[in-house]
Amino acid sequence: MKKIFSYTEGLTRRPTHYCPGCTHGVIHRLVGEVVEELGLRGRTVGIAPVGCSVLAYEYFNCDMFEASHGRAPAVATGAKRTRPNLIVFTYQGDGDLASIGMAEIVHAANRGEKFTTIFVNNAIYGMTGGQMAPTTMPGQHSTTSPGGRNCDEAGYPIRVAELLSTLTTPAYIERVAVHTPAHTIRAKEAIRKAFELQAEGRCYTFIEVLSTCPTNWGLSPRESEKWLENVMMPYYTLGVKKRPEDFDGGIFHGKH
Amino acid sequence: MAKVLMKGNEAIGEAAIRAGCVHFFGYPITPQSEVPEYLAKRLPEVGGRFVQAESEVAASNMIYGAAGVGMRVLTTSSSPGISLMAEALSYIAACELPVVLVNIMRAGPGLGGILPSQGDYLQATKGTAHGDFDLIVLAPDSVQEAVRLVISAFELAEKYRNPVMVIGDGMIGQMMEPVEFPDEVKGPPLDPGDWALTGCAGREKRIINSLYLDPDFADRHNRKLKAKFERIREAEQRWEAYNCDGPCDLLVVSFGMMSRICKTAIEELKAEGFKIGLFRPITLKPYPYEALRKAADKAKRIISIEMNMGQMIEDVKLAALGTKPIDFFGMAGGLVPSPDDVVAALRDSLKKAGAGGKAR
Ligand SMILES: Cc1ncc(C[n+]2csc(CCOP(=O)(O)OP(=O)(O)O)c2C)c(N)n1
Ligand code: SF4
């Protein structure tokens, strides 16, 4: 009999604690598969955030840090700069990365740190019970925006992939989704590309993954997929935002 | 090696290199900016990495990352920057990682001033950040001793896998003194032991983590950290006792540069027949309580002299345990007491102690 599906060595066998319909688990799986398939597991160090995926250090089957809230990019910088042969990735939620850790992510990206960020955008703070995130959609209800996000007060949701793509240094930036098999296949390609570029020693790579949070969105898993597609995707457009070919830093390398 | 004349901050940077540390992450702040400036130039020469972080928050998490992958690492800052490092220090201590940081203190509170101070004593020794953990804190009184203590900070950090702070006031950082360095870059690279994240090829995966959702586990971990600090307390207390043999009229307790000013004042009063001892803790943590109590036993009275509004005096009181009256003299805000200021304070205390000196 032909084996068509099995565990990935990139993940431990530990059952995850994620809610039914949550796509954190799918994203873990993709990262685990890529790390395994590229043969990088033995020299990979991952950095888990504070958020629902705080226990990611239990799930990824490689050496793992657990960082303080938002600081994973700084921890990754310290690790990768001092042991450049490691493959380093951060796995971060949108509260972690786009709110408390905004300074760390922007500067790590801008310095061109040679690690990869997997950014899970589920438009909410999952772990702490559904509070508003910087990525919460206009009008979206959360426990701290009970009347829906009021953009006059809270501003508009931050498009992190686009924001980082204004920087000259990063090598690869793409936004993907994992709510359908087709999107999941594309997401894996993007994650693979990011790790490949890192393994080649290229600058910073960043993959934003649109993700579901049925529990705090107050929707069923099926409704969550629809909401992601109909509400999030028009605002957070999928696609490559920056490629190594786009690098325009060369023109600034004149004499000073 | 021959002596060289060197600014304290630069000597601190060179000392780290001699201790085998070639990785630095930090953010500029007066009066310690010469450390990053010096290392930005020097580290590439010795095959190391210098990274100017975007903030002290980031710098302190970078050293968490570097130490976590088993590399010897340094950061330096001054008071407001150390406040921003508090969070990471709690994580680093929780995860038992060996890092060395230097605080060249400036006057506070708030943005304060850029002049010397010892206003972070309590922050360094008691309430550095959230949770139960202990730094090791070393306080040099000269540029030469700063060099020695930076080197010894790395040894202690690695021996106990604990963050170590070398704390000096702005004077230590800014003044130039002749110093001698050990010739050799010391020691082999840090031993990544069974804890550092070096990639799991050929072994089980490792985790560096400070999330303890199980309260029993968390309690055990806290006890383990405490037990480690007890070992440090037993083995690592250091102090200088100056003029402390035999009974004395007054015992001065002072640390860092301030203690050198106190020595000048003590010498001046010696000529008048007053016998004044000086006790200088070198490890502010673990504090040498027992040694101080022994010195205090021989004195009529104690005075704690600090460049702050009275912080170490709390430890002096704990050491003396109510056996002797304790005075305080201090200046804050960046004012450095002159020997005359100290002499005046000592005279006050001597009078209260009923000490006569030589009849004049
Ligand atoms: C310094 C600090 N502030 C606040 C928290 C509380 N906290 C934990 S997780 C979290 C939000 C996480 O949300 P997100 O990053 O969106 O991840 P998700 O749970 O949605 O995956 C917050 C605010 C913390 N742990 N540390
Ligand atoms: S709360 Fe939301 S993000 Fe967290 S595990 Fe549940 S569904 Fe996923």
Which conformational region is residue B349 in: left (phi greater than 0), alpha (psi within -120 to 50 degrees), or beta? Answer: alpha
Lowest mean pLDDT among A34-48, A66-80, A138-152, A234-248: A234-248
Of A28, A154, A36, nearest in space to A99 by CA: A154
Give the per-residue pLDDT at B185.
Answer: 65
Rounded Cα–Cα distance for residues A168 and B320 (Å): 62
Please count the structural domains in chain B. Answer: 2
Residue A32 identity (one-letter amino acid): G
| Residue A209 Cβ contacting ligand 1 at under 6 Å | no
Q: Is the predicted pLDDT of residue B186 greater than 80, yes or no?
A: no
- pLDDT > 70: what percent of chain B? 98
Q: Which of B69, B91, B100, B221 to mutate to test the interface with A (most CBs of A within 10 A)?
A: B69
Kindly report the protein residue whose alpha carbon is nearest to atom 23 of ligand 1: A128
Domain boundaries, chain A: 24-248
A78: chain B residues, CB-CB within 8 Å: 25, 61-69, 73
Rounded Cα–Cα distance for residues B120 and B109 (Å): 9
Residues B213 and B249 placed together within one structural domain of the fold: no
| pLDDT average, residue stretch B159-186 | 92
Is residue B26 within 8 Å of B36, Cβ to Cβ? yes
The pLDDT confidence band at residue A256, using thresholds 50, 70 and 90, is very low
| Residue A213 Cβ contacting ligand 2 at under 6 Å | yes
Alpha-carbon distances, residue A116 vs A108, A109, A222, B240 (angstroms): 10, 9, 30, 51
Secondary structure (H, E, C), chain A: CCCCCCCCCCECCCCCCCCCCCCHHHHHHHHHHHHHHCCCHHHEEEEECCCHHHHHHHHECCEEEECCCCCHHHHHHHHHHHCCCCEEEEEEEHHHHHHHCHHHHHHHHHHCCCCEEEEEECCCECCCCCECCCCCCCCCCECCECCCCCHHHHCCCCCHHHHHHCCCCCCEEEEEECCCHHHHHHHHHHHHHHHHHHHCCCCCEEEEEECCCHHHHCCCHHHHHHHHHHHHHHHCCCEEEECHHHCCHHHHCCCC
Cβ-Cβ contacts under 8 Å for B334 (sequence gap 6 or more): B106, B107, B112, B113, B114, B115, B116, B117, B170
Give the per-residue pLDDT at A164.
Answer: 98
Dihedral sign for Cα A99, A103, A105, A109, please.
positive
| Residue A157 Cβ contacting ligand 2 at under 6 Å | no
| pLDDT average, residue stretch B201-230 | 97
- Residue B3: CA atoms inside 13 Å, Cβ hemisphere, count? 8
Using only C-alpha atoms, chain B has a radius of gyration, in whole angstroms, of: 21
Bridge partner list, A125? A131
Is residue A29 within 8 Å of A188, Cβ to Cβ? no
| Residue A19 Cβ contacting ligand 2 at under 6 Å | yes
B336 belongs to a structural domain = yes
CATH of the domain at B266: 3.40.50.920
Residues B220 and B281 placed together within one structural domain of the fold: no
Give me chain B's average pLDDT, please.
Answer: 96
Give the per-residue pLDDT at B359.
Answer: 52
A79 CB within 8 Å of a chain B CB = yes
Q: At what angle do helices A181-199 and A24-37 cross, to 10 degrees?
A: 40
Question: What ipTM was predicted for this assembly?
Answer: 0.96
Distance of CA B246 to the CA centre of its chain: 29
Rounded Cα–Cα distance for residues A128 and A124 (Å): 10
Residues B170 and B259 placed together within one structural domain of the fold: no
Q: Is the predicted pLDDT of residue B360 greater than 60, yes or no?
A: no
Measured in angstroms, the CA of B112 and the nearest CA of chain A are apart by: 25
Alpha-carbon distances, residue A154 vs A129, A134, A142, A203 (angstroms): 19, 8, 13, 33
Give the per-residue pLDDT at B187.
Answer: 62
**Beta sheet of B326-330, edge-to-edge order:** B239-242, B276-281, B250-253, B302-306, B326-330
Output the six-digit token pair for B257. 């540069």
| pLDDT average, residue stretch B150-162 | 97
User: What CATH superfamily is the domain A24-248?
Assistant: Thiamin diphosphate (ThDP)-binding fold, Pyr/PP domains (3.40.50.970)
**3-state DSSP assignment of residue B269:** helix
Q: In chain B, positions 8-37, which contact chain A (CB-CB < 8 Å)?
A: 23, 25
| Residue A184 Cβ contacting ligand 2 at under 6 Å | no
CA of A233 to the centre of ligand 2 (A): 19
Rounded Cα–Cα distance for residues B207 and B60 (Å): 19
Residues B129 and B226 placed together within one structural domain of the fold: yes
Residues B31 and B82 placed together within one structural domain of the fold: yes
Give the per-residue pLDDT at B189.
Answer: 76
- pLDDT > 70: what percent of chain A? 96
Give the range of the structural domain holding residue B173, as residue numbers without chain letter.
4-179+209-235
pLDDT digits (tens, 9 = 90+) for A86-132: 999 999 999 999 999 999 999 999 999 999 999 999 999 999 999 99
Residues B219 and B288 placed together within one structural domain of the fold: no
Bridge partner list, B50? B24
B59: chain A residues, CB-CB within 8 Å: 74
pLDDT digits (tens, 9 = 90+) for B256-306: 999 999 999 999 999 999 999 999 999 999 999 999 999 999 999 999 999
Is A1 or A113 the better-scoring residue by pLDDT? A113
Give the per-residue pLDDT at A185.
Answer: 98
- Residue A252: CA atoms inside 13 Å, Cβ hemisphere, count? 5
Residue A201 identity (one-letter amino acid): G
Ligand 1, from A97, A105, A125, A217: best to mutate by most atoms within 8 Å of Cβ? A125
Give me chain A's average pLDDT, please.
Answer: 96
Q: Is the Cβ pair A82, B73 closer than 8 Å? A: yes
pLDDT digits (tens, 9 = 90+) for B306-317: 999 999 999 999
**Do you find a cis peptide bond into A181, omega within 30 degrees of 0?**
no
Residues B253 and B174 placed together within one structural domain of the fold: no
| pLDDT average, residue stretch B194-215 | 97
- pLDDT > 90: what percent of chain A? 93
The pLDDT confidence band at residue B184, using thresholds 50, 70 and 90, is low
Q: Is the predicted pLDDT of residue B328 greater than 90, yes or no?
A: yes
pLDDT digits (tens, 9 = 90+) for B98-119: 999 999 999 999 999 999 999 9
B166 belongs to a structural domain = yes
Residues B290 and B224 placed together within one structural domain of the fold: no
Rounded Cα–Cα distance for residues A74 and A70 (Å): 9
The pLDDT confidence band at residue A1, using thresholds 50, 70 and 90, is confident
Distance of CA B54 to the CA centre of its chain: 25
Token pair 């920087």: residue: A167
Of A97, A248, A111, nearest in space to A158 by CA: A97
Give the per-residue pLDDT at A247.
Answer: 78
